[in-house]
Amino acid sequence: MGISVESFFLDPAAEGTLQRQIQQMVAQGILEGRFRAGEKLPSSRRLAQYLGVSRITVTLAYTELVADDYVTARGRSGYFVSENAPEPPAFPARRSDSGSVDWSRILSGRYGENPLGLSKPRDWTRFRYPFIYGQADPTLFDSANWRLCALQALGRRDFTALTTDYFEDDDPQLVEFIARQTLPRRGILASHDEILVTLGAQNALWLTAQVLLNPRRHASFEDPGYPALHSLLKLSRCRLDTIRIDKSGLVPESIPDDTDVVFTTPSHQCPTTATMPVDRRRKLLAKAEAEDFLIVEDDYEFENSYHAPTSPALKSLDRNGRVIYVGSFSKSLFPGLRLGYLVGPAPFIREARALRATVLRHPPGHIQRTVAYFLSLGHYDALVRRTSRALHERRTVLDAAIAENGLTVAGQGSFGGSSVWMRAPDNVDTTILAQTLAAKSVLIEPGAPFFFSPDGPTNHFRLAYSSIPTNRIREGVALIAQAIKKRT
């Protein structure tokens, strides 16, 4: 019995190549029991005509399914569901529901509906003017060499690195590169027992908060600041206070008394992009020593420094082991990578490593080895140079467009970055402004989530330029200016 060609359809919203989608359609039909062993599949010609794709696309999909033993080819007779294909479950699949369980009583509600504190549309690529922060630009990323490094990491020579359970350790090649190449660029020297690979900076901050904080301890963080940090600090149930920000970043004199841990972003303050001067960094370190508190330095964007040579990391100035350093490859490679690292005194790293092991043991070995190759073969440095040139060009155009349209910059970093912190007139609510602009295919980030006091301002917004083409920046800024003018 043949399978009807009408059983197949392409979902316009589906991800992946057409070949991959066809493979998934056939495999899913077999796994769900709709296609049975021995049944004949539509010919490649007929299915290609029905789906509106090339015949070679269908043939390649069938060939992959044959290799996986989902399908068998019988000469000129065509393709059939293999006798060795996976058997569908003998019992019907049922969707579970909440039933009689009172989840409102059981769940604590500690984690909230939006733990990151920010909302980013998944379909941001369909917007013509995406001034959205943290997204990668596919025109800049070196996907060809990344693919080669991934294949190399899959090779026989690296089979142990790919398949080994490191338990609580990390890929030694990646740790070696971080210690010898990445950290010295920030003026930091660290041994292997002072470095821990994490699932991005977010994971590094969570581990740090869990290790250092508890209900008896006191943490202080920047206001405005990183919304996700506020969320994860609340999970520690420690006492929380905010620290005032000025044009040079965190103000040491504003750190509350009895603070145990200070969280700061000195290189590119989030979200204002302010760069903390070296003399202020030394004052902060001196205050930490005098008042016996620790500092967590989130250096999330240090690679994007193109206006001038970057300042030394706060960690590099620390002589008393009071700074814990958080780094990330998510901004310099791509956000979906989710790979970062912690640097701190060996006792702290040992504790953080033990905590990580209870949750996920270690980030996937193949990802770590791929990144190690990408870094050590020079592809990373080439990518950083290419990205810096592009960001510098976009920033120049953006600054000119902002000036031409009379918009107000609220924060100015010294060394680059990938966003600008803006201020609209006091009577403009940028959350509503963002909704209005989205209808015109313009994406901006409202500033309200970055403020933590109940009466925080609502007229700030962030313009990022990491993923918007240079030739669209001027027109996009003009649309923003027009929308603001209509609301004033």
486 vs 335: which has the higher pLDDT: 486
| Structure token digits, residue 221 | 């963080």
Which SS3 state, helix, strand or coil, does residue 60 take?
A: helix
Most confident of 141-145, 170-174, 239-243, 335-339: 239-243
Whether residue 125 is predicted with pLDDT greater than 70 in this model: the reply is: yes
The C-alpha atoms of residue 407 and residue 400 are separated, in whole angstroms, by 10
CA–centroid distance for 292 within its chain = 33
Rounded CA separation 132/85 (Å): 45
For residue 96, what pLDDT is reported?
A: 57
Q: Which parts of 180-307 are beta strand (E)? A: 195-198, 218-223, 239-246, 249-250, 261-264, 294-298
Q: What is the pLDDT of residue 104?
A: 78
% of the chain with per-residue pLDDT over 70: 92
Question: At residue 329, does pLDDT exceed 90?
Answer: no
Confidence check: pLDDT of 98 > 70: no
**Residue 370 falls in which region: left (phi positive, over 0), alpha (psi -120 to 50) or beta:** alpha
pLDDT value at residue 361: 82
* pLDDT over threshold 70, residue 304: no
Convert the pLDDT of each residue in 399-417 to its tens digit.
999 999 999 999 776 566 8
Confidence band, pLDDT 50/70/90 cuts, at residue 222: very high
DSSP 8-state secondary structure symbol assigned to residue 236? T
The yes-or-no verdict on residue 93 having pLDDT over 70 is no
Distance CA 433, CA 462 (A): 12
pLDDT for 92 beyond 70: no
Strands 460-464, 445-446: pairing kind: antiparallel
Q: From the centroid of its chain, how far is CA 182?
A: 19
pLDDT (0 to 100) of residue 335: 78
Confidence of residue 283 (pLDDT cuts 50, 70, 90): very high
Predicted pLDDT at 113: 62
Q: Name residue, tokens 């330095």.
A: 297
* pTM: predicted TM-score of the whole model, two decimal places: 0.79
Q: Is the model's pLDDT at 127 over the cut of 70?
A: yes
Domains of the chain are: 5-81 (1.10.10.10), 124-140+382-487 (3.90.1150.10), 143-377 (3.40.640.10)
**pLDDT band at residue 208, thresholds of 50, 70 and 90?**
very high
Interatomic CA distance for residues 421 and 247, integer angstroms: 11
Nearest to 192 by CA among 205, 201, 200, 183: 183
Q: Average model confidence (pLDDT) for the chain?
A: 88
Q: Which residue type sits at 22? A: I
Give the model confidence (pLDDT) of 370-391 as tens digits: 999 999 899 988 988 888 899 9
Within 13 A of 195's CA, how many CA atoms are on the CB side? 23
pLDDT at 26 over 70: yes
Helix axes 200-212 and 227-235, enclosed angle (nearest 10) = 40
pLDDT band at 34 (very low <50, low <70, confident <90, very high): confident
Return the number of other C-beta atoms located less than 10 Å from residue 265's C-beta.
29
Poorest-confidence range of 146-155, 165-174, 304-313, 348-357?
A: 304-313
pLDDT of residue 161: 64
Tell me the pLDDT tens digit for each residue of 53-91: 999 999 999 999 999 999 999 988 899 999 988 877 666
Nearest alpha-carbon partner for 177 in 329, 348, 314, 321: 329
Q: What is the separation of C-alpha 239 from the centre of its chain, rounded to a whole number of angstroms? A: 28
Tell me how many degrees the CA angle 302-303-308 measures, rounded to the nearest 5: 80
- Which position has the higher pLDDT, 139 or 441? 441
Is the Cα dihedral 274, 276, 280, 284 positive or negative? positive
Output the CA angle 49-30-154, nearest 5 degrees.
90
pLDDT at 280 over 90: yes
Give the three-class secondary structure for 94. Answer: coil
pLDDT at 445: 94
**89-93, 186-190, 213-217, 314-318: range with lowest mean pLDDT:** 89-93
